[in-house]
């Protein structure tokens, strides 16, 4: 599994907000775990949206060797999966099983393969046994796990996540950290939670004002108190186990 990401000269702006991304150049090796850190409004979420082709930016994005242009939309969506900030935006079917099965069904794989992928994804996120539960009856942590399962069942090579630990209690956050550490896919997480980022990712990309300010080893970037303070962030209290 590769899942490398290559971004060159990426720019994007909203009509009422000016430039949100300004000349982003970024390479992410397959299988790595990268945190996009920065204050609110830094451009982190927009960068994830551009990678998944939910917004059309200027510049070049290549994911797993596929250029992210309109004619390749379907192929790009096969190799990259997006876990949104609000899990309820991804949970809309009558049961948890139906939600997780929805993606592979739309990839036109056979019924047995859909069932296999769905059961494996639910097992992976710790929701085996809750297949028939309505999603709105799940806890916040379970909803987050179910949203991740909807992406895992599609077997992408790259997974992006926008603030995945939002509204989680400490126990659910710990389970999420363990799950994310165990994933083989390339993982790109946009977050304002430095402790969470430090526990999951080995690399940190600091963004502010739509630009990349720093990029390197997560411990080195996030331990730089002056750098972090200059961009409205805190140094992590601990870097995990």
What is the value of pTM for the model shown? Answer: 0.93
Phi then psi for 37, rounded to 5 degrees?
-115, 160
| 3-state class (DSSP) for residue 21 | strand
Mean pLDDT of 43-49: 96
The C-alpha atoms of residue 214 and residue 234 are separated, in whole angstroms, by 15
CA 217 to chain centre: 19
Which tokens in the block code for residue 83? 């876990």
Please identify which residue in the block is written with the tokens 């990029």. 215
Phi then psi for 116, rounded to 5 degrees?
-60, -50
Tell me the pLDDT band of 14, cut-offs 50, 70 and 90.
confident
What count of other Cβ atoms lies within 10 Å of the Cβ of residue 171? 9
CATH number 3.50.50.60 is the correct assignment for the domain at 5-230 = no
Residues 212, 8 contacting (CB under 8 angstroms):
no
Is residue 83 predicted with pLDDT exceeding 60? Answer: yes
Phi then psi for 89, rounded to 5 degrees?
-70, -15
| 3-state class (DSSP) for residue 10 | strand
Is residue 8 predicted with pLDDT exceeding 80? Answer: yes
What number of helices (H) and strands (E) belong to the chain? 9, 10
Which tokens in the block code for residue 187? 């993982």
The model's pLDDT over 170-228, given as tens digits with 9 standing for 90+, comes to 999 999 999 999 999 999 999 999 999 999 999 999 999 999 999 999 999 999 999 99
Tell me the pLDDT band of 108, cut-offs 50, 70 and 90.
confident
Is residue 126 predicted with pLDDT exceeding 50? Answer: yes
Q: What pLDDT does 238 receive? A: 63
Mean pLDDT of 47-64: 95
| 3-state class (DSSP) for residue 128 | coil
User: How large is the angle between the packed helices 140-152 and 170-182, nearest 10 degrees?
Assistant: 10
Task: Kindly list the domain boundaries of the chain, sorted by start residue.
Answer: 5-230
Residues 132, 153 contacting (CB under 8 angstroms):
no
Nearest Cα neighbor of 38 from 163, 159, 144 is: 163
The C-alpha atoms of residue 38 and residue 232 are separated, in whole angstroms, by 8
Nearest Cα neighbor of 59 from 71, 47, 42 is: 47
């Amino acid at each position: 599994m590769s899942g490398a990401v290559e971004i060159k000269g990426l720019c994007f702006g909203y009509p009422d907000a000016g430039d949100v991304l300004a000349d982003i150049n970024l390479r992410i090796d397959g299988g790595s775990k990268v945190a996009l850190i920065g204050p609110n409004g830094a451009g982190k979420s927009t960068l994830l949206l551009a990678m998944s082709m939910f917004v059309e930016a200027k510049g070049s994005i290549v994911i797993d060797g596929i250029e992210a242009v309109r004619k390749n939309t379907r192929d790009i969506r096969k190799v990259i999966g997006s876990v949104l900030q609000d899990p309820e935006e991804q949970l809309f079917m009558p049961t948890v099983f139906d939600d997780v099965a929805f993606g592979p069904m739309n990839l036109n794989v056979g019924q047995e393969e859909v069932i296999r992928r769905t059961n494996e994804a639910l097992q992976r996120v710790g929701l085996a046994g809750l297949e028939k539960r309505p999603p709105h009856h799940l806890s916040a942590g379970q909803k987050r796990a179910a949203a991740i399962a909807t992406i895992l069942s599609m077997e992408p090579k790259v997974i992006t996540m926008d603030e995945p630990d939002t509204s989680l209690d400490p126990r659910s956050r710990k389970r999420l950290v363990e799950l994310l550490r165990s994933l083989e896919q390339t993982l790109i997480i946009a977050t304002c939670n430095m402790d969470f980022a430090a526990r999951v990712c080995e690399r940190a990309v600091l963004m502010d004002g739509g630009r990349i300010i720093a990029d390197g080893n997560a411990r080195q970037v996030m331990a730089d108190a002056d750098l972090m303070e200059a961009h409205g962030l805190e140094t992590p209290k601990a870097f995990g186990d």
